[in-house]
């Protein structure tokens, strides 16, 4: 369905440009308020990450919602999944997140949660977009919405996170480094893990509005690796700016990505007879993960890249666990959306139940070498390049070479003028040569 403003994960861009302006956010708040008010609803929550622009957009959305006659509950800095949880527990009609996730502070964005703590249905997003084209009219003064700040929002979410960890276990005796990316988990994650018994060393927990994701967090794990080794910690956990993604580091400083964490969670749930079906990955999930699940008789399906598609595949199969190698993991048995803290706690539950370290739990997983090359399209279209006879012939050649031992993935980027060429296989030299060969053919077609 075509969208003028909403992408696959809300609205995002550089502050002051396009739709990411105070003027647009005022109108967006009003438009959303009108749509929900027409349904007889009158309560919407707003939370944000730690970007300095969050203050401006929070105020603009609040004003717009009030002008539409909707009451606003302000959460302050709060991880995206925390906003989803509180939207449900406050029986609000929607939750609004002000965040650009793992992007730098210059960017910001908006996404919505439904009353159930899930992404808004397409028809509601379409109705909000349609309302944006209407002239903004304020309700009568006696119908204006009120605003209230929820003072104990952080405490409520901390207790929820702890409730997802098994009661029979704790984290006593473990030293854990937490990297909060100077983002929305800075005042949440250290309390959660400390109260569960761990000795916590926090880094990336001093947000100033300008330093979110800067050289810290799950997209910049070098700081966490160094801190784990420096403090001789048992492991490290890193979140992204809005707290819906997670990466981990073992005692030796090795990085565990989303595929690794998904393997640990799923195999622990299988041992505990809690898996109830299979696991959803994405087109980017490592082929070695797929093979490992096959050996354990765990069904595995691939969705398109994006948590929206992982969620859709989970619901279609009535399965519980899925995720992306980027660290966006969904544990539907405990949360309605991707949640970095909750996902990390599911990994820690596996550590506690097994008595094994992260590296020991991962030992059976043999991930295959993966090579990714981005080819810039210029003025050429991805569709025409992929239809080229030379490209088709090379794809057939690479596919045959990897048959049964690996795989090829060729896909256009959804956000940049690129075609991504990815190969996986048992021999890194071979898959590198195959990826480079196909990329070279694509580059020739682009140049024509």
Q: What pLDDT does 8 receive?
A: 65
d(CA 29, CA 134): 13
pLDDT (tens digit, 0 to 9) for every residue of the chain, 448 residues total?
Answer: 456 788 767 889 999 999 999 999 999 999 999 999 887 778 999 999 999 999 999 999 999 999 999 999 999 999 999 999 999 999 999 999 999 999 999 999 999 999 999 988 888 989 999 999 999 999 999 999 999 999 999 999 999 999 999 999 999 999 999 999 999 999 999 999 999 999 999 999 999 999 999 999 999 999 999 999 999 999 999 999 999 999 999 999 999 999 999 999 999 999 999 999 999 999 999 999 999 999 999 999 999 988 889 999 999 999 999 999 999 999 999 999 999 999 999 999 999 999 999 999 999 999 999 999 999 987 778 888 888 999 999 999 999 999 988 999 998 886 678 899 999 999 999 999 999 999 999 998 887 6
b/e sequence 353-383, b meaning 16+ C-beta within 10 Å: eeeeebeebbeebebbbbbebebebeebebe
Q: What pLDDT does 5 receive?
A: 80
d(CA 441, CA 448): 11
Q: What pLDDT does 141 receive?
A: 97
Q: Angle CA(30)–CA(41)–CA(185) in degrees, nearest 5?
A: 75
Under 8 Å between Cβ of 281 and 262: yes
**Helix %, strand %, coil % for the chain, to 5?**
40, 20, 40
DSSP character for 441? H
d(CA 200, CA 219): 21
Query: In angstroms, what is the C-alpha Rg of the chain?
Result: 23
d(CA 347, CA 260): 10
- Cβ-count burial of 83 within 10 angstroms (0-12 exposed, 13-18 middle, 19+ buried)? buried
Closest CA to 281 of 264, 268, 300, 265: 300
Under 8 Å between Cβ of 190 and 200: yes
Global confidence as pTM: 0.92
Q: How many residues does the chain have?
A: 448
Dihedral of the alpha carbons of 81, 87, 88, 94, in degrees to the nearest 10: -110
Under 8 Å between Cβ of 94 and 44: yes
The one catalytic residue in 66, 101, 343, 388 is: 101
101 is known as an active-site residue: yes
DSSP reduced 3-state for 114: strand
Closest CA to 153 of 184, 130, 122, 132: 184
b/e sequence 121-130, b meaning 16+ C-beta within 10 Å: eeebbbbbbe
């Amino acid at each position: 369905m075509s969208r003028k403003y909403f992408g696959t994960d809300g609205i995002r861009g550089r502050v002051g440009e396009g739709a990411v302006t105070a003027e647009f956010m005022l109108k967006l708040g009003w438009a959303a308020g009108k749509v929900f008010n027409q349904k007889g609803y009158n309560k919407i929550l707003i939370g944000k990450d730690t970007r300095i622009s969050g203050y401006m957009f929070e105020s603009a959305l609040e004003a717009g919602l009030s002008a539409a006659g909707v009451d606003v509950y302000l959460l302050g800095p709060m991880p995206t999944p925390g906003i989803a949880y509180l939207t449900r527990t406050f029986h609000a009609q929607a939750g609004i997140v002000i965040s650009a996730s793992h992007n730098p502070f210059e960017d910001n964005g908006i996404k919505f949660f439904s009353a159930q703590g899930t992404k808004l249905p397409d028809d509601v997003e379409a109705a909000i977009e349609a309302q944006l084209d209407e002239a903004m009219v304020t309700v009568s003064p006696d119908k204006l919405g009120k605003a209230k700040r929820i003072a104990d929002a952080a405490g409520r979410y901390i207790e929820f996170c702890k409730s997802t960890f098994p009661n029979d276990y704790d984290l006593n005796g473990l030293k854990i480094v937490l990297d909060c990316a100077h983002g929305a988990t800075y005042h949440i994650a250290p309390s959660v893990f400390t109260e569960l018994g761990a000795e916590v060393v926090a880094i990336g927990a001093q947000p100033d509005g300008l330093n979110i994701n800067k050289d810290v967090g799950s997209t910049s794990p070098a700081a966490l690796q160094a801190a784990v080794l420096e403090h001789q910690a048992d492991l490290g956990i890193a979140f992204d700016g809005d707290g819906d993604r997670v990466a981990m580091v073992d005692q030796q400083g090795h990085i565990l990505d989303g595929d690794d964490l998904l393997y640990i969670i799923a195999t622990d749930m299988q041992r505990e007879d809690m898996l109830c079906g299979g696991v959803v990955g994405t087109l980017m999930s490592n082929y070695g993960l797929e093979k490992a699940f096959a050996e354990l008789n765990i069904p595995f399906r691939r969705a398109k890249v994006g948590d929206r598609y992982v969620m859709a595949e989970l619901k279609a199969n009535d399965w519980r666990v899925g995720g992306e190698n980027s660290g966006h993991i969904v544990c539907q048995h405990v949360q309605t959306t991707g949640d970095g803290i909750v996902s990390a706690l599911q990994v820690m539950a596996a550590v506690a139940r097994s008595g094994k370290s992260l590296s020991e739990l991962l030992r059976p997983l043999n991930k295959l070498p993966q090579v990714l090359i981005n080819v810039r399209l210029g003025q050429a279209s991805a569709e025409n390049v992929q239809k080229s006879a030379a490209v088709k012939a090379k794809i057939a050649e690479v596919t045959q070479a990897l048959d049964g031992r690996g795989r090829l993935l060729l896909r256009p980027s959804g956000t940049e003028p690129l075609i991504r060429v990815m190969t996986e296989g048992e021999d890194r030299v071979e898959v590198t040569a195959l990826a480079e060969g196909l990329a070279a053919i694509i580059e020739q077609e682009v140049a024509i």
